[in-house]
Amino acid sequence: MSKDFSELFPNQNKRQKDFQCSIGFTMTVIGSKWRAIILWHVLQSQLIRYGQLKKSIPKISHKVLSQELRNLEMDGLIERIAYATIPPKVEYIPTPRGKSLEKILQELCVWGKKYFK
Amino acid sequence: MSKDFSELFPNQNKRQKDFQCSIGFTMTVIGSKWRAIILWHVLQSQLIRYGQLKKSIPKISHKVLSQELRNLEMDGLIERIAYATIPPKVEYIPTPRGKSLEKILQELCVWGKKYFK
DNA sequence: CGGTATCCTGAGGGATACTG
DNA sequence: CAGTATCCCTCAGGATACCG
């Protein structure tokens, strides 16, 4: 694993380090149960608060949503903006790297629609 | 879950049945650790024997490769052709539905290459 | 409001061996 | 050569509760 790589995806240090092909790598970034869906919602709204995200994805648990938002942030796909107010307010926006996945997520969505229901 | 859906993806009966959006569904089809990679290899070669596939993806275990090939077959993404010879010979080819994922897999591959190594 | 800690369960998937 | 069965273990992710 190159230095560049580790810097781009610090989160990857915890994950599988050798891939058959780069599809395997991409899958570690968006291939979990919720990560693609969360990123998709962030991309759709451009800027979204935690609570709104939770409402948009009601079946995800509080813990997992927080957790995956951290992962997406650590992989540089979204940016977290926290306001030091009471009550707290946190917003998420996509980064350029996150936006670079928009087309793919769009296609995953279209493909799914075609065959689901 | 509609009747059509069950018929198209009998394998889905074992899986999550409600999705936030269709990305979630697509992920159940190709989102496992190996499924996208296997399908990718089948698509690349157009027709490939079990043993060749195993060599192409050395890190996958025998059991999991068989298992995922079944899943891909049950989801209608690949077709299995078995010859009743001794020793046995089994070939896998992509179906039209499998081919409909080629572009997406290609993009997953390109995206991964861009950031991995 | 949003994050984190703890605990727990189940499914994914690895190793191995037996079968035709 | 290819498929299946068994065993086992890790870890993703769900429920709950407490914190700032």
Instruction: Give which of B37, B15, B40, B35 is closest to B25, Cα–Cα.
Output: B15
Above 60 in pLDDT, residue B2? no
Is A36 a residue whose pLDDT tops 60? yes
Distance of alpha carbon B6 from alpha carbon B1, whole angstroms: 7
For residue B11, the model assigns a pLDDT of 72
3-state secondary structure of A62: helix
What structural domains does chain B harbor?
35-115 (1.10.10.10)
Q: What is the mean predicted confidence (pLDDT) over B84-112?
A: 97
Q: In chain A, positions 16-35, which contact chain B (CB-CB < 8 Å)?
A: 18-27, 31-33
Which residues from B are below 8 Å from A44, CB to CB?
none
pLDDT computed for residue A16 by the predictor: 46
Q: What confidence tier does B19 reach under pLDDT thresholds 50, 70, 90?
A: low
The pLDDT of residue B4: 63
Q: In whole angstroms, what is the distance from residue A7 CA to residue A20 CA? A: 21
Contact B57 A20 (CB under 8 A): yes
Closest of B106, B81, B79 to residue B94, by C-alpha? B79
User: What nucleotide is nearest A70 when CA is compared to C1'?
Assistant: C3
The nucleotide whose C1' lies nearest the CA of A92 is C2
